[in-house]
C-alpha cells in the first residue's frame, strides 16, 4: 500500500543543515493503523508529510498503490492526493466557513457536482456524528468537534489513506478517546489505511496495530502490536513502552 524506501530530508537553518529524516524505510499494508512515535523533533511529522509529498524527500522513494510519487507530474500528483486525506494537529479549518462548507471545500476543488457534493457532505458529517452542526461556524465548536469536522473533511474525497499528524494533541484527554474511536471505526468500516503521528504511547496502544519508533530522524525500531511478547531493544523504545504518559512533558535526558 505505502512503501517508503531510504527517505531522507534535510532543511537549511541558520545554525546549519538539519537532518530531519535520515534513510527511513517503512512498509505499510492496506488496512493498517500504523503509528509513528517519538519525542518532539524526532522527524515523525516530516516523514508523514513525505507520503503525500507535502515534504518532498531529498533522497528515497515514495510508493503509494504501486506508483512512485516523486516521478509524477504536478497534475498527476494533485490527482493522486485526492486518495490521501490528511488531518492536522490544529484542525486547519476555515473559520469564515460553516462546518458544511468546510467539508465541501475539497469537493469543490475536485470539481464534484453540487448534488453529489451535498450527498457526500451529509454522509461524512453523519460518520463523525456532527449532522446537527452543519450550519455552525468553527468558533462555536469544542476542540473535539473541530477535529471531527477535520476528519469529515479529510474523508470527503473517499480517500484510501488517512494521514493524521498529532490528531489528539490539541484536545483534552476525555475527547482523545472519542477521536480515536472515530478513527478506528473509519478504519474498520471503510477499510481506510491510517498513518498516525503521536508522542503518546497510550494513543498507539489504543488504536494502532503496528508502530515505528523514531529518534533523531531515524527509525530505530518497528513493532507489530499483535505480538504478545514485545521486547524493545533501544533505550527510547524501552522508555516509550514502559511509560504511557505524555512524552512532551518529559525531558529526553530521562531515558538516556
Domain that holds residue 165: 1-77+161-169+192-243
Percentage of the chain modeled with pLDDT above 90: 73
Residue 177 lies in a domain: no
Rounded mean pLDDT, 113-126: 94
Residue 60 lies in a domain: yes
Asked if residues 178 and 206 have their Cβ atoms less than 8 Å apart, the reply is no
The 3 state secondary structure assigned to the chain is: CEEEEEEEEEEEECCEEEEEEEEEEEEECCCCEEEEECCCCCCHHHHHHHCCCCCCCCEEEEEECCEEHHHCCHHHHHHHHCCEEEECCCCCCCCCCCHHHHHHHHHHHCCCCHHHHHHHHHHHHHHCCCHHHCCCCHHHCCHHHHHHHHHHHHHCCCCCEEEEECCCCCCCHHHHHHHHHHHHHHHHHHCCEEEEEECEHHHHHHHCCEEEEEECCEEEEEEECCCCCCCCCCHHHHHHHHCCCEHHHCCHHHCC
**Model pLDDT for residues 12-47, shown as the tens digit of each residue:** 999 899 999 999 999 999 999 999 999 888 999 999
Q: In the predicted model, what is the mean pLDDT of the chain?
A: 90
Q: Is the pLDDT of residue 245 over 80?
A: no
CATH of the domain at 239: 3.40.50.300
Residue 201 lies in a domain: yes
Residue 220 lies in a domain: yes
**Model pLDDT for residues 147-198, shown as the tens digit of each residue:** 999 999 999 999 999 999 998 887 887 788 888 999 999 999 999 999 999 9
Count of domains for the chain: 1
Residue 39 lies in a domain: yes
Residue 5 lies in a domain: yes
Residue 185 lies in a domain: no
Residue 71 lies in a domain: yes
Amino acid at each position: 500500500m505505502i512503501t517508503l524506501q531510504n527517505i531522507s530530508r534535510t532543511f537549511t537553518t541558520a545554525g546549519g543543515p538539519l537532518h530531519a529524516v535520515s534513510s527511513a524505510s517503512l512498509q505499510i499494508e492496506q488496512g493498517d493503523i500504523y503509528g509513528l512515535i517519538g519525542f518532539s523533533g524526532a522527524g515523525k511529522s516530516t516523514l508523514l508529510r513525505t507520503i503525500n509529498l507535502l515534504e518532498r524527500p531529498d533522497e528515497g522513494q515514495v510508493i503509494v498503490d504501486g506508483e512512485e510519487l516523486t516521478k509524477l507530474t504536478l497534475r498527476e500528483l494533485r490527482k493522486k492526493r485526492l486518495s490521501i486525506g490528511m488531518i492536522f494537529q490544529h484542525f486547519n479549518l476555515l473559520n469564515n466557513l460553516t462546518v458544511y462548507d468546510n467539508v465541501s471545500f475539497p469537493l469543490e476543488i475536485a470539481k464534484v457536482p453540487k448534488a453529489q457534493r451535498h450527498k457526500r457532505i451529509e454522509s461524512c458529517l453523519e460518520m463523525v456524528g456532527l449532522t446537527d452542526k452543519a450550519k455552525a461556524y468553527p468558533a462555536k465548536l469544542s476542540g473535539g468537534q473541530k477535529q471531527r469536522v477535520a476528519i469529515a473533511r479529510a474523508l470527503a474525497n473517499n480517500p484510501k489513506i488517512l494521514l493524521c499528524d498529532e490528531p489528539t494533541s490539541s484536545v483534552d484527554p476525555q475527547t482523545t478517546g472519542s477521536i480515536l474511536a472515530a478513527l478506528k471505526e473509519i478504519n474498520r468500516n471503510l477499510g481506510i489505511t491510517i498513518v498516525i503521528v503521536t508522542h503518546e504511547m497510550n494513543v498507539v496502544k489504543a488504536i494502532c496495530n503496528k508502530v515505528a519508533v523514531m529518534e533523531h530522524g531515524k527509525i530505530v525500531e518497528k513493532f507489530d502490536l499483535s505480538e504478545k511478547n514485545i521486547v524493545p531493544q533501544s533505550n527510547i523504545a524501552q522508555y516509550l513502552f514502559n511509560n504511557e504518559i505524555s512524552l512532551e512533558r518529559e525531558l529526553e535526558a530521562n531515558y538516556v
